Amino acid sequence: MKKIYSCLFVGILLFAACSKKVTNTSLVNNGKVWASIYQQQAAEYKALCFQAYNIAKLRLDAATQQSSVKPYAVITDIDETLLDNSPYDAKKALNNLGYDSKSWKVWTAKAVADTVPGAPAFFKYAASKNVEVFYITNRDEDERTGTLKNLQLYGLPYADDAHLIMRKTGSSKESRRQDVLKTHNVILLCGDNLADFDALYDNKPSEENRTASTQRLMQEFGSRYIVLPNPEYGDWESSLFNFNYKLTDAQKDSIIKAQLKLEK
């Protein structure tokens, strides 16, 4: 009986500890836990990824039937477009912690991220049609070795220094896209963040401006721009907080509550 009571007491303590941890977790990090489990487990997430890459294949087939002086190419982002970093995000969120570059680079150096559903098959298909793949990422130059290792782990085509274009200065990808356009006919761009596609999304625009730009470019989506779902992070999140990365979790929680549409 004494043993039973001891076990019960330990169980109550564990429950209280877990409950306390959940209570102290911010809305931001609670949201990221749900986003991670959606990304890792939901068949709907996988379906959206397959849908995106199925459309990409159709568009690639149509584009390559046209003659071109320049060689064909597709440009793709890496994180949450090709590689799945949800284990990193989930671990940070469960510990009520946000992104930081030091822990992120420890993660990318491991080169163990899984792939986004449908991505490897599409890019290998593109290569089979003599379409080059350029990986334009906002990972830093000191992440090159781990990034190449991770891409090569899955036998992804053109996973070499010439086709992996890291961030040099700012986060805008426009100049890097233009460099590829000088030598190649870019038929598709793949990404999870709207700044992966067009300079209209650079310079930290408000969500209203991002929405207006999206309306303006609506014909490009599903045609030349292929968007992958990312509920974890991105400019959509940063714009909620006016790109102020110094806000506390409590301040972020207040902003989220203020912007939510609620039933009347």
The pLDDT tens digits of the residues spanning 147-158 come to: 999 999 999 999
Phi/psi of residue 104, nearest 5 degrees = -60, -45
Tell me if 154 is assigned to some domain: yes
Share of the chain above pLDDT 70, in %: 91
Residue-wise pLDDT tens digits, 51-94: 999 999 999 999 999 999 999 999 999 999 999 999 999 999 99
| Predicted pLDDT at 25 | 77
- Prediction pTM value: 0.90
Place of tokens 């090159």: 144
Tell me if 240 is assigned to some domain: yes
Cross-strand partners of 134: 75
pLDDT at 195 over 80: yes
Number of domains, the chain: 1
| Predicted pLDDT at 128 | 98
As a whole number, the mean pLDDT across the chain is 92
Distance separating alpha carbons of residues 59 and 263, to the nearest angstrom: 41
Mean pLDDT of 177-206: 97
Give the N- to C-terminal CA distance of the chain in Å, as an integer: 53
pLDDT at 258 over 70: yes
Q: Which of 84, 86, 180 is nearest to 136 (CA)?
A: 180
Q: Which of 158, 189, 194 is nearest to 52 (CA)?
A: 189
Cross-strand partners of 132: 73
Residue-wise pLDDT tens digits, 143-191: 999 999 999 999 999 999 999 999 998 999 999 999 999 999 999 999 9
The CA-CA-CA angle for residues 217, 118, 201, to 5°, reads 25
Tell me if 11 is assigned to some domain: no
Tell me if 5 is assigned to some domain: no
**8 A C-beta contact, residue 26 and residue 253:** yes
| Predicted pLDDT at 156 | 98
Domain that holds residue 234: 25-259
Tell me if 17 is assigned to some domain: no
How far from chain centre, in Å, is Cα 242? 20
Tell me if 16 is assigned to some domain: no
Tell me if 220 is assigned to some domain: yes
Question: Which residues 6+ apart lie within 8 Å of 185 measured at CB?
Answer: 68, 69, 70, 71, 72, 73
Tell me if 4 is assigned to some domain: no
Report the relative pairing of strands 185-191 and 164-167 from DSSP bridges: unpaired
DSSP 166: E
Q: How confident is the model at residue 260 (pLDDT cuts 50, 70, 90)?
A: very high
Structure tokens at 193: 């963040």
Mean pLDDT of 20-33: 78
Q: How confident is the model at residue 113 (pLDDT cuts 50, 70, 90)?
A: very high
Strand ordering across the sheet containing 185-191:
164-167, 132-140, 72-76, 185-191, 225-227
Domain CATH code at residue 105: 3.40.50.1000
